[in-house]
Amino acid sequence: ESNDVDPASIQTEVFRLPSTCFAEEDGSIANSGRWLQWHWKGQDAPGEARNDGEILAGIYHRLRDMYRT
């Protein structure tokens, strides 16, 4: 476990969302060495994991709907 923060000891809400890693989605990789590389998905994401864009879009749409009502 790379995250050793105890959620009970801090005064904030902690959410762990099932997201994909770079090998589970199509896309590009770029770095400060000025190279860009396209890669294809190596395998499907496990379980209910979604990519970051889908997660953020879902949060955005739900928040927008909450403010409209």
- Domain borders along the chain are 18-68
Amino acid (one-letter) located at 41: K
Q: How far is CA 61 from CA 18, 51, 55, 58, in A?
A: 18, 16, 10, 5
- What confidence category does residue 69 fall into, taking pLDDT thresholds of 50, 70 and 90? confident
pLDDT in tens, 39-65: 999 999 999 999 999 999 999 999 999
Tell me: the pLDDT tens digits for 7-24? 788 888 878 889 999 889
User: pLDDT-based confidence at 1, cuts 50/70/90?
Assistant: low
Instruction: Enter the pTM of the model.
Output: 0.65
